Chain A
Amino acid sequence: MTDTAAHAPAATADHGHATATGISNTKLAMWVYLGSDCLLFGSLISTYLLLRHRSTLGPGPKDVFDIPFTSVSSFVLLMSSLTMALAVASITRGDLQRNRAWLATTAMLGGVFIGGQVYEFTTFYREGLGYTTNIFGSAFYTLTGFHGIHVSVGIVMLMSLLVMSIRGSLGPERAEAVEIVGLYWHFVDIVWIIIFTVVYLIP
């Protein structure tokens, strides 16, 4: 607050340089949005938990799930959180070369995860679990599909950062942009840990 007051005559207080909380507008907006997204996934996961054992006909979770396969793709997604953190660390240091490498790696790992999900969906479909087959199918595809869309949006964000970096408009002074995308990315990963546990691991 005192800092803000000192700068007040220069008309900067409402220009994002010094906010009343000290957190930038964009970062605070991302936090608020992620709070909102918690409720989105909370509702979807609750719906899945309520419905998963209510199907009157098969196939059910036990018939289709391939736990080892999904474990590997989950591991890939978790590793992408590590590379995301490295991307943030490198741009904070001003190491743009490494930053680009880690951004690309993160996007690639995310892509591998999405590829795994596409493979999983097609396999399940071939094994007889369509979107409209039974309640489990509707609930499963909707929940994991929403998560997949979130990861895809994250990949688009990472690719945009990468393009900006290559064009020279993502310097260390913009480290916060990477950090904000990182917040989103970690959030999506944490949601996957919950989904993987609740949907795949708990019988």
Chain B
Amino acid sequence: MAIVERPSDVLALPPGGLVTHSPLGVFARPRAKTGWRAWVSTVDHKRIGIMYGVSALFFLVIGGVEALLIRAQLAAPDQKLLSADLYNQVFTMHGITMIFLVVMPMGAAFMNYMIPLQIGARDVAFPRLNALSFWTFLVGGIFLNSSWFLGGGADGGWFAYAPQTGVIFSPSHGMDFYAIGLQITGIASLVGGVNLVVTVLNLRAPGMTLMRMPVFTWMSLVTQVLLVFAMPVISVALFLLTFDRLFDANFFNVAQGADPLLWEHLFWIFGHPEVYILILPAFGIVSEIIPVFSRKPIFGYPFMVFSGIAIGFMGWGVWAHHMFASGLGPISVAAFSVSTMFIAVPTGVKILNWMATLWGGKITFSTPLLFSVGLVAMFTIGGLSGVTHAVAPADTQQTDTYYIVAHFHYVIFGGALFGFLGGFYFWWPKVFGYVLNDKLGKVHFWLTLVGFNLTFGPMHILGLQGMSRRIPTYRDGYGFNLWNAVATVGAFVIALSVLVFFVNIVRSKRQAPSLPPPGPDPWDARSLEWSIPSPTPDHNFDDDPVVTQLDDFWHRKYGEDEQGRMVPIATAEEIAMPGDPSRSHLPAPSYWPIVLSLAFPLIGYGLIFNLAIAAVGGAVLLGGMVGWALEPPDDEDLPPHGHDDHDDDGTAAAEPEAVATQEEVTAGD
């Protein structure tokens, strides 16, 4: 924001070396602790996690309205609520929004907030890069949705098959917004992925070996590794599409001899790992919730971990099952058919382990567990219909019908979203210091479950009856009327359930002062995040926790008597925060992440409308990187003692080395 006014300050190197202790001037670190400035400049993983969650819920409302428009259009035959063109835009934007702007950031919300707490760290490895990821995601999402006001949304489906999405068949700017917008959110995912992989591997507390990490952290690690390797593939595909559309390249120009399968391969090599990127964080959340509410350790912890890793590996070998109808040839089809059936095995392992964890446990059916059991049931249905797609001859009948729509909603909504909703109820007291009302939570759950099955259950039937995906309407007399009407009713029930969730948040917050505070450990849980007060203090842990076993916190609370029975030996309150917080030092906030992120949409608008805007964006990008690099170390007030701000921008340029160097010089160690 300050760049345009003060370019010379930004670009000039301070004389006499890079060390600047002065808190004055453009390089001063922001100091606000409250108010909007504190949020805009924060590098705290907890605040960033909360902002990811809020943004995801905001986009959930947008994507939900789009879903309601689709269902309203299809409620009865021959409706004219949306034109065919507008219908294309609405279902495309619905898919993009729900996948890239709702489910992915919701996972990122949980991962950002919980990973450092679960591994006993004070923040992520690169706090400023973490803020950059969030802001870049947010501006990317706003950029994508701004297309509604600038000539119409993307209209080629979320997978945007080229050459159908070339300028000839999709002349509006919608697909340009798609290609560039996803490129922007891709940068956010890549930076976040590198950051969180390093965080999990490097910042574990003493004794927190890999096989002592909570399953959620494990699944997050697998997810982030998938992101790091999947994102560049979609980036290349989007680059090719952008160059075709904006610069007349010939990648998808069939008249010049191009191969239409190129896009499909690139997209699905990204796209299939992507579905595991969507679902694995939710699997992790459920693996935390089920043991807590069954009062048993997770059944087969190593199997849970390795099945997650196996899913991550095998997810790379199944992409062509999305392309069985494209004429790949019998050998490819057979190979991918078999590999797709195989990937059901590690998923089945997880399902059975969750059930074995519940088996014989002292079960409390609170809202988090209800959503978790909901996930296990709904995902199983989605998984089974998925296996039917793996059978290639059956798939050629099902492909492009509502049967597919039913399938992927059962795995993404019935899987990922159910897990996240359970996670909200589970971790809400830790994040905000009050418990969400359980009665309203149960109303929320049952409405969601009923609405969900009413909406997507009938789509199996519609699909097998032959109703195509992506058609704006259907004729009377095809036999589609009844189940479409039911699905539309279901969609509005889901909308009602989301409303109940928001009401629950507000009401629980209002009632919180009259209720006893939840304390550090309201659920009698097992992992480290419950060993600190609620809401989490700024510095997370007074002292670095030292971990001796899996579920360490649980074993500090419970021991065994002579007969081998479990007896409480300490309360969570006794365990929580024994130390002295004054020794912990936190990275200081920074404005540069948001400044840098603003460059991306400027460049995007510039490429689409006017290169002058892109030039401004480029200047912001360069200035932002220089400002980022030359920002002083953050602890002028404290005795300097080390690298608190482990930022390195490995993806961009050399400036980060300057940061590190300054710190070294200041720290003098």
Partner-B contacts on A (CB < 8 A): 1, 4-5, 8-9, 11-17, 19-21, 23, 25-26, 28-30, 32-33, 35-37, 39-40, 42-44, 47, 50-51, 54-57, 131-132, 134-135, 137-139, 142, 153, 156-161, 163-164, 167-170, 173-174, 177, 180-181, 184
Contacts and interface: CB of A to CB of B under 8 A. Distances in A.
B656 interface: yes
Nearest to B583: A11
Contacts of B251: 47, 51, 135, 138-139, 142
B197 interface: yes
Contact of A37 (B232, B257, B266, B656): B232
Given A20-B203, A54-B257, A168-B17, A177 B661 contact: yes
Given A20-B202, A55-B256, A156-B653, A8 B544 contact: yes
B132 to A, nearest CB: 13
Contacts of B272: none
B121 interface: yes
Interface of B: 13, 17-19, 121-123, 125-126, 190, 193-195, 197-198, 201-209, 228-233, 235-237, 239-240, 243, 247-251, 253, 255-259, 262, 266, 269, 543-544, 546, 583-585, 641-644, 646, 648, 650-658, 660-662, 664-665
A151 to B, nearest CB: 13
A135 B248 CA distance: 11
Contacts of B202: 19-21, 23, 25, 28
Contacts of B239: 142
A194 to B, nearest CB: 15
A25 B198 contact: yes
B653 A164 contact: no
A181 B654 CA distance: 8
B555 to A, nearest CB: 18
Contacts of B233: 39-40, 42-43
B646 A16 contact: yes
A36 B231 contact: yes
Contacts of A132: 247-250
B250 A135 contact: yes
A9 B256 CA distance: 67
A181 B649 CA distance: 11
Given A11-B585, A135-B256, A184-B650, 4 more contacts: A30-B650, A40-B235, A132-B250, A142-B249
B188 to A, nearest CB: 14
Nearest to B646: A25
11 contacts: A9-B543, A14-B122, A21-B202, A26-B656, A36-B190, A43-B269, A44-B236, A47-B251, A54-B259, A156-B654, A177-B660
Contacts of A36: 190, 193-194, 228-229, 231-232
* Interface-centre pick from B201, B266, B651, B657 (highest chain A CB count, 10 A): B657
* Interface-centre pick from A47, A161, A168 (highest chain B CB count, 10 A): A47
Nearest to B190: A36
A54 B269 CA distance: 22
Contacts of B583: 11
A142 B650 CA distance: 22
B655 A160 contact: yes
A5 B259 contact: no
* Interface-centre pick from A21, A138, A168 (highest chain B CB count, 10 A): A138
A13 B544 contact: yes
B256 A169 contact: no
A159 B654 CA distance: 8
Nearest to A156: B653
Contacts of A5: 206-207, 546
Contact of A8 (B193, B206, B660): B206
Contact of B229 (A15, A39, A135): A39
A153 B653 contact: yes
B126 A25 contact: yes
A174 B668 CA distance: 12
Q: Which 10 A-B pairs have the closest CB atoms?
A: A157-B654, A160-B654, A40-B232, A43-B236, A19-B202, A5-B206, A138-B249, A54-B257, A26-B648, A20-B204
A23 to B, nearest CB: 7
B643 to A, nearest CB: 4
A111 to B, nearest CB: 15
Given A15-B642, A40-B236, A56-B257, A1 B648 contact: no
Contacts of B584: 11
Contact of A169 (B18, B236, B243, B247): B18
A184 B232 CA distance: 17
B257 A55 contact: yes
Contact of A26 (B17, B235, B660, B662): B660
B274 to A, nearest CB: 13
A21 B262 CA distance: 39
Nearest to A6: B206
A142 B233 CA distance: 15
A150 B13 CA distance: 25
B643 A15 contact: yes
Contacts of A17: 642-643
